[in-house]
Chain A
Amino acid sequence: MFDDRYTLAYKLYPYEKSADQDLDAPVRHPVVVVGGGPVGVATALDLGQQGIPVLVLDDHEGVGMGSRAICFSKRCLEVADRYGCGTPMVEKGVTWNLGKVFHRDHKVFEFNLLPEDGHKYPAFINLQQPYFESFMIERLRALQAEGAPIQLRGKNRVDAIEVKDDHVVLTVMTPDGPYTVEADWLVASDGASSPLRDKLGLGFTGKVFRDSFLIADIRMKGDVDFPTERWFWFEPSHGEGASMLLHRQPDNVWRVDFQIGWDVDRKEELKEENIRRRLDAFLQGVEYDMVWSSIYTFQCKRMERFRHGRVFFAGDAAHQVSPFGARGANSGMQDVDNLGWKLGLVIQGKAPEALLDSYSDERVHGADENILNSTRSTDFITPKSEISKIFRDAVLALSDTHDFARPFVNSGRLSVPCYYDGLPLNGADDLPGGPARARPGAPCPDVPLGDGFLIDRLGARKGATFQILAIDAEVPERVSAQGLDLEVVKVSAADAPLVGERYLGAASSAVYLIRPDQHVAARWEAWDEQAVAQALGRAIGLDMGKEL
């Protein structure tokens, strides 16, 4: 009746009977999150920090086994930092910025994902997904201990959903039998095969790619001298796989990924002797233990909209991409980053419900960018037609000797933060000479500040608070507008030169309106109370649905 679908790495939230189960009438919760993966738990952290009661239902009792997602991006870590768990991730993770691409035995391309200094977080860390999830659950326990209204229930599987105009009714199965839960708002973060999406009959459309990849995570014995970089081979000279990826993880574990073709016998390929045959061809004499292996195929798909009335879809449940580019878990974290404060403001009656539509607008924009990049990489790695293969091979052949061809080499364009360009919440861009990287819609660029970093002082860590970032500009000590109290952060370019480069450009002063998710809402050269109030109104959705 209640079998696990996968093996657990850590049993972190064993089933306990909750008081809800013994009551005659269903209990109504402000927010129920379905799915206790990284996206679901992050949602709980975001809302819990705001003091919004949130209930997470997961059909397992902990974190699943297997490295799975391993590359966590700078933006994802900045989101985790806002939730209070970025530091342990970086401490445990393997930091890397550099990628190298080989064709046979020649290096044909190299990229540095963070070619500049002055950021708290690196371009990427590699960290096995069970660690990533465990750090978030540790943080969730710490918040609970501080009194945050978060509940996490293991072995609570949603078997039925009924969506009403102003709430959702869930039938939840447990080892003690079923019970009913009601939610004002529901966040579905139940993974790529989202049972909730199916139950609601919602579509999930896109492309399926005809190739399979064999992942082998291995622990090297003794000293190995592979650097901490992402190495990718097209047509590796040892002949195992049409392409191959090598990537380091903590605990001396390495991810090796072979492209093995579409028509493969999965059971046969997953036999240890066959995996070892491929690995030995590459590693030639190095001793290793097998840690985890899996075969995956992939698709690039998304839902048409991520909000359906009272129900939000987030993470893989809403959109799926190929793993090339590390755009899965990293975009899921950005979904939560975007949804958390909006839901918080609406639940507290501080913003209109229409604000919630902007979650779909902004994150569909993000998903499309990820799908575009991921699809292009995948088409290069596994060309889908004869002519596409001819051009791909021509690029690789030229890139052996000609630098001009190297930018065409595409082994995955790695996850970069999303800029919400041209979307309805953005306000004025009234800072002549202001740097494009900090335009409205952009995530705030980090800069070193005193002993720390600017990013430490930006974004909401408790309530869904907007901020005024004043750079060498006169602003009031206290700012209130549209019924909200704003936080004022004052910085001088004299103390931190990079503030000038990343926030002022040619301007000599600036006033930025910053959203709770650290994205820029609007910017001006000087303080203007009315303009700030207008931009704040727009950023909390007062203009949503009106003609722009």
Chain B
Amino acid sequence: MRISVQEEPFDLGVEAEEFAKGADEVGAVVTFTGVVRDSDAGGMQVMEIEHYPGMTEKALTQIAQEAVQRWSLGDVLVIHRHGRLRPGDRIMMVATAARHRKAAFEAAEYLMDYLKSRAPFWKKEISADTADWVAAKDEDEDALSRW
């Protein structure tokens, strides 16, 4: 299991390759990558991501451990960036390894649902003349109830 909260970019290919290596006990590897998208209003130049050092790592570890237990994962990877990002930048990724694909997909969805509303990150969308904090969506909170 690896959890990384980092400012610097990550190489999707390298991370996926490293993760899939040594997964000889598992039959399925799923990766999900989140990309910074423009604000709904358009014109976003920078997405600033703030986090709570210490709690972030703890929360991500707890979420990942829960996923490992629930779906008997062989391995799990969570990378989440903070700092100033631009549209198109890769913001985060998760990878799960399991014996069967259903477990790997479900665990990845579980990680994403919990990461959205239980990991202490906050996003600010900055354009030429506005700077707005992204509000949490009710549907993100509701998504947790299915687990």
B partners with A: no
* Interface residues, chain A, with chain B CB atoms under 8 Å away: none
